[in-house]
A and B are shown apart, each in its own frame.
Chain A
């Protein structure tokens, strides 16, 4: 009896050692030479494998980063500057800090502002819906409301607001990976710089229709009146195809455009105080009057000189 136990232990141990030796030799012989830095880089990556950087996953990003001559063309939106600094330290490259970004939904056509003109009872997918027609509201540019963006978000940062029928971004969870931007067939979601203390100003509409048509479809659409562009003293507002766009790199967050927008299409978020529209309008009025007076006096002086 004891003999059997001893023999079994001895045979199994011997077999184990023998196989271990074989495995060791095979591993030695067929070893794939890999840059050890790939593993190091992968370790500091967030490990979300979201594809937001444009690579298949964190390891693919690490492989590409090790091979690349610099890190200019690569950025991990999830890890942000912190991760990129770590990656740069491992690889001995230099990186420039990028402004952290956040997804912004550029449609404010709530159920109230943008009444339904027909009922969609097809498959609940924005992409399928966009293949079939322009949507169940009069606006052919706005949010379709089936939540492809919510399904695309791996970080749980997006949710549909049942009251407005529009997606809402949870800034704390958004990593700006860009999955929702790709998922939206209407290209409504945009990645914008987070702004100082999260404060940012943007046009929450993508309707390129002419004013009356846009207004008929949605009460809070950008009607392309151009008042915002005229008001802005920082040349931050680009005006194209009946649609205003605020260039975040030039915007000084003065909120003047927001106060002047007749439809409320311009949104400011995370500001400490609510916008006092009348005060801002008064301020703009005073400034414009002063400018007018200055121009007139200058004219007079010119005349005097003559």
Chain B
């Protein structure tokens, strides 16, 4: 294989090569790993700014804006956050390349909130072998809570399984004699929910009388709904991504089936699911939430949420407040800042990981009142509480207590 040397040199010159020593220097009390100094903390991130999942790119932009706000207010104990975010286009090979660039070339302290189950799976082994924290990943898969095998990887949002267990708890309480019919998407997302539900129902898993799976390639899922209705079930679990969830809500209404109907948090968007399905068809549908809704007027007088509104107005002018990604990005960025504050002057990778696993009753501004972030050396699932909600009129009404998705409670 042959090449033009000068072309290669030109290409390499774009890669920034920093010269920071690898081991932490032994200054009095202050301890640093690569990526942290007296004046700066380098945070790495990968996001799909392009490609099929580029809608999530807003999360990265929100985080960047949040850290700008933190820096404007003096940084973390005088240290400014240097947020380096690269595009992985939702492609696992690109994710590996970009993360290696962050760790080996930019020399970041941690890789924070990388998005997507495939991308995170691709980089997990590498980051764990390099002992670089893979902090607060942006995916709902359950496998991130595995401190024994992957002590450098920690999740953030509630896992699909914990959410499903909350529905199971609700059903056991409200409809212990119910006959449950389930429609689920035939992939890791659908199967995670199914497992969570069965675990949650435990001995009463026999309540499930029908399971139907669908492929995302199917144009419509109408026939599944008709089939599920014919089983005589009076509870319907709609484990589908937004497009199919909307189709299901509509069809259930059309065939005049009136079960207790639950949709997942993934498909609880008013604009993306409930309105397209038809507001009339959506009345009374149940779901669960852990964060406040930017479009819901009830939070506009909430003291904590006012901070979020002020942040969006000042640092992201013109952004769409209905976009759940801004609420998400703000909450997770605030969790990182809290973790770094807890680290004090010991900014080593091991200590960052230790502090991330020592969050006690932490409440970012954007989480529902009562939902708290708790982690420990054996619990790497920061958020595991949600609150049930019912669709009424044109919005979700929260009801009942905050429920934990942990199996033990």
The answer on A and B forming one complex is no
